[in-house]
Amino acid sequence: MPSNDPSPWFEQLLPALRSPAGAVAFVPLYAVWVTLLLPGVWASMLAGVLYGTLWGSVIVFAGGALGALAVFLLGRHWLRGWSRRRLRAFPKLLAIERAVSQEGLKLVLLTRLSPAFPFSLLNLAYGLSEVSLRDYTIGLIAILPGTVLFCALGELAGDVARFGEVLHGEADAGTWALRILGLIATVGSIAVAGRAARRALDQSEGR
């Protein structure tokens, strides 16, 4: 059975990350992590261990927002042309995608709150969509509840080796509240997207 203990080199890195310079460096490091489409839970909990819930949340939010914008812009400017060309072969799918994108800020907020939509992949998906940069950027505020929760769990763990134990342990009231909020947001986002898709199909069929 593999050990959960962090590697010796990582243990040596922790004191440097705890310094003021390390806290500043953590922001772009987290942004790169998100840009590489890697899950941010572990890195968010690490920020909680290193900087506490408050400052860890500030640092993670800054890094997450920076990385999210980078991935969005990559999708919008490098990959979007390819995706649009592919969609032109399927007019109904193109109409549905545009209709869903027109829900803008509402859909961005709901999907950000929902755990059913992976944060990193969602950044790319919105870059390929018609959602405006303004709505996308404002919608990033919805990552704050999850950010605060995972930083708080990291501070509670107090040690990287205990992350798994804390994540799979008994959930507190805050965790349950976020789960319920995530469930509501998932249902809401599916309803909003479904209504937009039906409207687009009705229009394409001339109803």
Higher-confidence residue of 96 and 119: namely 119
Q: Note whether residue 54 is domain-resident.
A: yes
Residues in contact with 136: Cβ distance below 8 Å, sequence separation at least 6, in sequence order: 72, 108, 126
**For 181-197, what is the mean pLDDT?**
75
pLDDT for 4 equals 54
Tell me if 141 is assigned to some domain: yes
Asked if residue 1 is part of any domain, the answer here is no
The predicted model gives 187-192 an average pLDDT of: 77
Q: What phi, psi does 117 have (nearest 5°)?
A: -115, 110
178 in any annotated domain: yes
Assigned domain for 2 exists: no
Question: Of 128, 130, 133, nearest to 65 (Cα)?
Answer: 133
One DSSP character per residue, the chain reads: ----SPPHHHHHHHHHHHSHHHHHHHHHHHHHHHHTT---HHHHHHHHHHHHHHHHHHHHHHHHHHHHHHHHHHIIIIIHHHHHHHHTT-HHHHHHHHHHHTTHHHHHHHHHH-TTS-HHHHHHHHHTSS--HHHHHHHGGGGHHHHHHHHHHHHHH-SGGGHHHHHTS---HHHHHHHHHHHHHHHHHHHHHHHHHHHHHHHHTT-
pLDDT tens-digit readout, 23-49 = 999 999 999 988 887 878 889 999 999
Rounded CA-CA distance 80/71 in Å is: 12
Range of the domain at 17: 8-204
Q: Place 205 in a pLDDT band, splitting at 50, 70 and 90.
A: low
The mean pLDDT of 39-63, rounded to a whole number, is: 92
Q: What is the CA radius of gyration of the chain?
A: 19
Whole-number pLDDT of residue 78: 85
Q: How confident is the model at residue 143 (pLDDT cuts 50, 70, 90)?
A: very high
On whether residue 3 sits in a domain, the answer given is no
pLDDT at 86: 72
pLDDT at 30: 94
Whether 79 is covered by a domain: the verdict is yes
Cα separation of 200 and 149, whole Å? Answer: 37
Total number of domains in the chain: 1
Average pLDDT value for residue range 161-190: 69
pLDDT of 2 over the 50 cut: no
